[in-house]
Amino acid sequence: MSATAVSPRLIATDLDGTLLRGDGTISPRTRAALARVRRAGIEVVLATGRPARHVRALADAGVPVICLNGALVYDVERHAIIDETRLTAAVACDLVERLRARLPGTCFAVEVGLEFGWEPSYGRHRAKLEPALLPLADARALCARGVNKLIGFHPELAPDAFVSRSSDVVGEHAFVAYSGAPFLEISALGVSKAAALADYCAARGIAAREVIAFGDMPNDLPMLAWAGRGIAMSNAHASVLAAVAESTLSNDDDGVAQVLEQLVPHH
């Protein structure tokens, strides 16, 4: 039986470059399509590299959000963490030291639960930073409770170069995701949107073949591969378009809505 022959029970979608238009909003057409599939009994889950505080204005009540590339599952309505996975303090501090030694000038920020903080050098190099929720401190102090995401930034290296030159440093100690942002996103081993989505679905008796997933960047690939039907946006990263068999229109052309409207047509 083909993936399209299975009635979907859950829609999982990335945000930036996928559900969101280039201006960072969800179009009225897409909102209507999401509401229609939910009324039809199909669950919707958002899966993003963003932290919880950046999705509160985007997610409708009752829509859970997989945040930080899978390191945290968030309930918007209750402003509460449903589940989370942290990189241990020991591993995080070790990686800080390793990256500083390999690439001097590397600076760090952290996501810890619903809190965010950075060290002074990170603040100096990154424009338009939102207010920190943790005291300004060295990265090792910020990692003391473990972190959901360790963010590494180098002021003189392009993201692709930073990723390639640091991958062996991170090695088997953690997982590095690249979502298109100008920094490294380091999480605990085993953390991914796919792993968090698989756990969420397993707890509800939803099989992978009953899931449709949408994405556009390399950090979406595991989720697109896991789902019974993985769909790339036409504006997706070349590696995603090469790996995924099905694609839809771009994020600015309501590609997600186009697919959902075929699932649950207007009456």
Query: Residues 235-249: what's their mean pLDDT?
Result: 96
- The angle that helices 28-39 and 255-263 make with each other, rounded to 10 degrees, is 30
**pLDDT band of 265, cuts 50, 70, 90:** confident
Task: Give tens-digit pLDDT for 126-154.
Answer: 877 888 889 999 999 999 999 999 999 99
Confidence of residue 267 (pLDDT cuts 50, 70, 90): low
Q: pLDDT tens for residues 105-119?
A: 999 999 999 999 999
pLDDT digits (tens, 9 = 90+) for 26-41: 999 999 999 999 999 9
3-84+191-263 under CATH 3.40.50.10190, yes or no: no
If you average pLDDT over every residue of the chain, what do you get?
92
Q: Residue 37: which of 74, 9, 76 has the closest Cα?
A: 9
Q: 143: how many CB neighbours lie within 10 A of its CB?
A: 25
pLDDT (average), residues 241-263: 97
The pLDDT tens digits of the residues spanning 169-221 come to 888 889 887 666 778 889 999 999 999 999 999 999 999 999 999 999 988 99
The pLDDT of residue 5: 61
The pLDDT of residue 167 is 83
User: May I ask the CATH architecture of the domain 89-187?
Assistant: 2-Layer Sandwich (3.30)
pLDDT in tens, 46-66: 999 999 999 988 888 789 999
Q: Where are the domains of the chain?
A: 3-84+191-263, 89-187
The model's confidence at residue 3, banded by pLDDT at 50, 70 and 90, is: very low
Q: Could you tell me the pLDDT band of residue 158, with boundaries at 50, 70 and 90? A: confident
Q: In what order do the strands lie in the sheet with 65-67?
A: 80-84, 72-75, 65-67, 43-47, 10-13, 211-215, 229-233, 246-248
